[in-house]
Chain A
Amino acid sequence: KKMAMVLTAIRGELVVIPVEWSWLTLSRVLFSRQEVMKWNGWGYSDSRFLFNKKGQAEFTGRRYRLSGMVLPSLKDWFESTFGASLQHKSPATATLNASAVPFPSLNEAFLQDLKSTGIPFSHEAEDRVFRAHGHCLHEIFALREGKFGRVPDLVVWPNCHEDVVKTVDLACRHNVCLIPYGGGTSVSSALECPPDETRCIVSLDTSQMSRILWIDEKNLTAHVEAGIVGQDLERLLNESGYCTGHEPDSMEFSSLGGWVATRASGMKKNVYGNIEDLVVHIKMVCPRGVVEKSCQGPRVSIGPDIHHFIMGSEGTLGVVTEVTIKIRPMPEYQKYGSVVFPNFEQGVACLREVAKQRCAPASIRLMDNAQFQFGHALKPQVSSIFTSFLDGLKKFYITKFKGFDPHHLCVATLLFEGDRERVLQHEKQVYDIAAKFGGLAAGEDNGQRGYMLTFVIAYLRDLGMDYYVIGESFETSVPWDRVLDLCRNVKERIVRECRERGVQFPPLATCRVTQTYDAGACVYFYFAFNYRGLADPVNIYGRVEHAAREEILANGGSLSHHHGVGKLRKHWMPESISDVGIGMLKSVKEYVDPDNIFGSRNLL
């Protein structure tokens, strides 16, 4: 393989793509994703954490800033936080055993008609297994053990809107179940095939529909096929000097259609908005036909917005094929930053004030103490005595001189974007507010590392799973006045539930406030524990997460801020939106898809 690489930047991270693919978008490569991506873990095959022979953690590959680096403090953090040990390994099954995959049950008539359309398809075990799951803990855990439940019987790769129309039409004619597949980054069991589905299940992979069809510089919109993956969309737009600014944590792999179908939220929503603020026009193919609006008016008063039936429909109504999305000129200047607070309470008060004054930077996030320590454990080896001396000095200043308790202090990470002058002005404004809440500016580097944590966390989970540690993240949104109570109670509930369910080691339960709104905030939890000594760790994990969600709801939090409902959380839908609300959604589903062709059974 030629080692010439093309560099591209995603959120400050250098992503490397082999030069022979540079004419392609990543989406195109994803025709057979398993060649570049792990089949039983997160992300690229070449990028993973491991403990080397010296017992030090390192991150392999060349794609990320952290790639090839040694992380000297990760081992100690890992062992002391989880009571884990490098001696106790729980390795995954190395290769996919195709013979263990259930044989496809094909609808021959459908297959015949499909062949005549010329749309590519496959019933290879690898292709089917790859599209049978998202990234929930139980899904990955089963893959690592080489266990497969119901998987799609067939995968199709439509190349354009018309191909989708044809596929859906055939599916209706032959009563075949369709499950749209975008980036596969779902964490709501949305991609899981219903085990009792007797029809042929076809996974409709949108990866080949990844072109930017046009860019309208007068109105600052772009018309894009929905299969495009986040990093490609940004890179291609960047080439013309634009961006969407939509950066969910999964943007390396998740697709535009997936964002629409789950009501995604991006890190920089304070500047660019969430997906519902970004889309101008959506085209969706349903069993009943194609649904779209007739104009691109920036705002309309023509009854309930049909986009809101589509956004968050989670693949139950049809396939999103094309989207017109707002674009912005690329920002001239970007700057990271961070603030240390004496405790989480002060930090939340500061974020609330920032939201009140509506001066939130592109991104502002507040990590609690445990997460701050976690981030610290990811510090790469320092190159010189001078840097380590400086680090020591900083620590001394904060803990001794300023009197911050290292077990209570917490850090907010910031990202400013815009033209240089305004960024600097904005920065000052935010730091002034922070100072009122006892916050001390703690440098760009800490800020950038904070964002890196979200980027590599999914890779870290795979490392944990090699050593008996399982975990996951979940999120909610909550009014400002209940943020602190919710964070405290949910963390405590996790600890208590783990104890009661026989988990032998104290769990890691940590949270951060990741988004601010006028009326509340988005809170994100990490939860992980060492499962040595447990017979059915996944089951226990599920019960604890269930209890944590109950606690969230009891404390005024929402069922989901941006992960969606899928099948994992649909149990709580009636209490979340009332029975009448469920009825509304059901009646739409019944009209749009009376035969339940889109039979993923998400949401309802």
Chain B
Amino acid sequence: MASNTLYSPRDPALKKRDDFEDILEERRSSSDLRYALRCYVPVVYKGIAPCKPGVLKTAVLQSDRLRHVVAEMSKETGESADVIREEASGILEEMAHRLRLGTVRFFAYSLSKAFKALFQRVRVNEDGIQRLQQSIQEHPVVLLPSHRSYMDFLIMSYILYTYDLSLPVIAAGMDFLGMKIVGEMLRMSGAFFIRRSFGGDKLYWAVFSEYVKTMLRNGYAPIEFFLEGTRSRTCKSLTPKLGLLNIVMEPFFKGEVFDVSLVPISISYERVLEEALYARELLGVPKPKESTSGLLKARKILSEDYGSIHVYFGHPVSLRSLAQGRINRSQYNLLPRHIPRRPSQETQAFVNETAYRLVRLQEENMVLRPWVLVAALLLQNPDGVDMERLVEQTSWLRGLAVSFGAFLDWPDYVSASKAVASSLALHTGLVRTEGGRAQLAMEPKEPGSPEEDLFDRAASVLSCASYRNQILHVFLRPALLGMAMQMAEASRKDDIYSCFSFLRDVFSNEFILCPGGTVQDFDEACYMLTKCAAVHVQKQEVVATEKGQRILSFLTSLFQPFLKGYQVGPAPFLELVDYPRELTCYEALSSDVQKNALAALLRMKVVRKLKV
């Protein structure tokens, strides 16, 4: 099921990207209060049917879809329709946003203060903003930012407010409601809250989907949600969730709107606020519950330097163009449109493919700092590396990454040694530099029990890995090819392809690999490695070149931790106590790797789930 839309053998290094502007610059030189109180007149969708949040709720409750579901449930359960309607109204009450400009202004003010304290710069591509402004007027817009931090949606709304764009309504997890006052304030700044799971609850699903669709159809406001569903603790993109994407596409499939613009947005942090928390979470320490007091305690992070944030608004993707030739919209002709039904297989495949495509677009425009390259190299050298050599390797890796299309924030006038030095300086907590050598900071500050030491060591490896992870998407396909060549131990293209396909299958929970895209990915990998002269692709064979050895061995060792993690499988803890210096294995401790590995094994039917 190859789609020819995704992959075109263009040179990734030549990808044109927009320039950034720092929006904090102005904040540092003019009054935040005036900024928060300024006249705010956003451009709106041309077909907008203006309405207040209250009217919106009524529209949802009186929609044909909801009436249908209520009538059906009443018939099934014997419950009176009024009771079910009450229940629906309660769900909506709990869910709905109450966007108010006053609250937005409050956030505009306090976030200005907070951002200036936390970050050096918040950089935005203004061309992207202009494109977005255009799209907002033409068609309903869906904003799809990457999700690495709680900051993401605050940043988004802040930027849209700054540029006088309509404020989005944002799908947020119910957990936030646990925060007193803050939850309600988020609600008043445009968040609406959905339960994490409501699998079988028909009524909940109906209220939720109708609510989102009503806002979309009316062009009420841009709708924002996270394709990845939750914050990525590893800084790798997560397999996209399809529920909301399905919902926002349906009005187009059913002809209720002419088109929908899907806007992938990449938010990259030089240092994620939750950095330390994530590593602990990955090692099994439960996520602290969202609470207002927790938020207040977290104030101390205000005193640290989190570098820059880059927000890249990608090109709006027209759903109509994507669906052209893929979705036969007349399939909805024979059933009244308000009667819910399962999407056809072709639709599901389309939604899935689109989701992957969008996440890849997010990945592509993630800005990478030189530190990411350094972290990748340090993780490959557990015993430390000479500064000189590190600089040389970083410089080499920079060339490779750029030729593979990485979006590096490394201007030409900055020398490699300078870039490495400043990277190390910003991450002193993670690296130790002594006597001209750089090494991951592995030794605990104060020795504790072996388990505690192990925990600390693992935590710092995982923190470092979360930086390296940011660049994996650039190297993923060529690396899979490299590993496949190693695995196949032969140069026949067919053998290599089948190993490639197998590896791709194994790692499809771990990385963004769209089901059904094996052929394209293989071609893409061959193209990229051929371009940097690492392999020679012939009709029947793929051969590594002399020059390619360095590239291939770098690529394979870059992904070694995952290969190891999957080999070790469950319960690696004991082994590690015995071989604590085996660095790659620390990553096997990550609950994320374990979860993905287990999912892969289940999917590939290697193991079976037994209910205990």
Contacts and interface: CB of A to CB of B under 8 A. Distances in A.
Interface of A: 481-482, 485-486, 488-489, 492-493, 553-556, 575
A556 B256 contact: no
A92 to B, nearest CB: 37
Given A488-B258, A492-B258, A493-B258, A556 B336 contact: no
A555 B329 contact: yes
A556 B258 contact: no
B253 to A, nearest CB: 9
25 contacts: A481-B336, A481-B337, A482-B255, A482-B337, A485-B255, A485-B256, A486-B255, A488-B47, A488-B258, A489-B255, A489-B258, A492-B258, A493-B258, A553-B330, A554-B255, A554-B328, A554-B329, A554-B330, A555-B255, A555-B329, A556-B255, A556-B330, A556-B332, A556-B333, A575-B330
Contacts of A493: 258
Contacts of B329: 554-555
B66 to A, nearest CB: 16
Nearest to A556: B333
A450 B56 CA distance: 38
Contacts of B332: 556
Nearest to A493: B258
A482 B332 CA distance: 11
Given A489-B255, A554-B329, 18 more contacts: A481-B336, A481-B337, A482-B255, A482-B337, A485-B256, A486-B255, A488-B258, A489-B258, A492-B258, A493-B258, A553-B330, A554-B255, A554-B330, A555-B255, A555-B329, A556-B255, A556-B332, A556-B333
Contacts of A481: 336-337
Contacts of A492: 258
A555 to B, nearest CB: 4
A284 B329 CA distance: 39
Contacts of B256: 485
> Which of A493, A553, A554, A575 gathers most chain B CB within 10 Å?
A554
A169 to B, nearest CB: 44
A208 B385 CA distance: 102
Nearest 10 pairs between A and B by C-beta?
Answer: A554-B329, A555-B255, A556-B333, A485-B255, A492-B258, A489-B258, A553-B330, A554-B330, A485-B256, A489-B255
A556 B333 CA distance: 5
A313 to B, nearest CB: 25
Interface of B: 47, 255-256, 258, 328-330, 332-333, 336-337
Contacts of A553: 330
A488 B255 CA distance: 9
A153 to B, nearest CB: 41
A575 B328 CA distance: 11
A556 B336 CA distance: 11
Contacts of A489: 255, 258
Nearest to A558: B333
Contacts of B336: 481
A553 B330 CA distance: 6
Contacts of A486: 255
- Which of the listed residues B47, B328, B330 has the most CB atoms from chain A within 10 Å of its own CB? B330
A418 to B, nearest CB: 35
Contacts of B258: 488-489, 492-493
A555 B328 CA distance: 10
Contacts of B47: 488
A249 B485 CA distance: 72
A493 B318 CA distance: 13
Nearest to B331: A554
A181 to B, nearest CB: 34
A575 B333 CA distance: 12
Nearest to B338: A481
A82 B329 CA distance: 32
A492 B332 CA distance: 20
A555 B330 CA distance: 7
A257 to B, nearest CB: 33
B252 to A, nearest CB: 10
Contacts of B333: 556
A581 to B, nearest CB: 15
B261 to A, nearest CB: 13
B30 to A, nearest CB: 39
Nearest to A557: B333
Contacts of B330: 553-554, 556, 575
Nearest to B217: A485
Most buried by B among A481, A485, A493: A485
A492 B318 CA distance: 14
Nearest to A554: B329
B63 to A, nearest CB: 12
Nearest to B333: A556
A228 B416 CA distance: 91
Nearest to B328: A554
A481 B330 CA distance: 15
Contacts of A485: 255-256
A489 B332 CA distance: 15
A439 B43 CA distance: 31
Contacts of A554: 255, 328-330
A575 B329 CA distance: 12
B318 to A, nearest CB: 10
A226 B333 CA distance: 37
Nearest to A345: B49
Contacts of A575: 330
A492 B259 CA distance: 10
Nearest to A553: B330
A388 B332 CA distance: 50
Contacts of B255: 482, 485-486, 489, 554-556
Contacts of B328: 554
A434 B375 CA distance: 72
Q: By CB atoms of chain A within 10 A, which of B47, B255, B328, B336 has the most?
A: B255
A492 B329 CA distance: 17
Nearest to B49: A345
A556 B330 CA distance: 6
A481 B254 CA distance: 11
B45 to A, nearest CB: 13
Nearest to B254: A485
A506 B337 CA distance: 32
A536 B322 CA distance: 28
Nearest to B332: A556
B135 to A, nearest CB: 14
A420 to B, nearest CB: 42
B90 to A, nearest CB: 29
A553 B258 CA distance: 14
A578 to B, nearest CB: 12
Contacts of A488: 47, 258
A481 B256 CA distance: 10
A553 B331 CA distance: 10
A58 to B, nearest CB: 38
A121 B75 CA distance: 72
A83 to B, nearest CB: 21
Nearest to B336: A481
Nearest to B256: A485
B505 to A, nearest CB: 36
A368 to B, nearest CB: 14
B364 to A, nearest CB: 26
A240 B332 CA distance: 51
A36 to B, nearest CB: 44
A482 B333 CA distance: 10
Contacts of A555: 255, 329
B307 to A, nearest CB: 43
B346 to A, nearest CB: 15
Nearest to B329: A554
A518 to B, nearest CB: 16
A34 to B, nearest CB: 43
B291 to A, nearest CB: 46
A489 B256 CA distance: 8
A68 to B, nearest CB: 43
A94 B490 CA distance: 77
A489 B328 CA distance: 16
A487 to B, nearest CB: 11
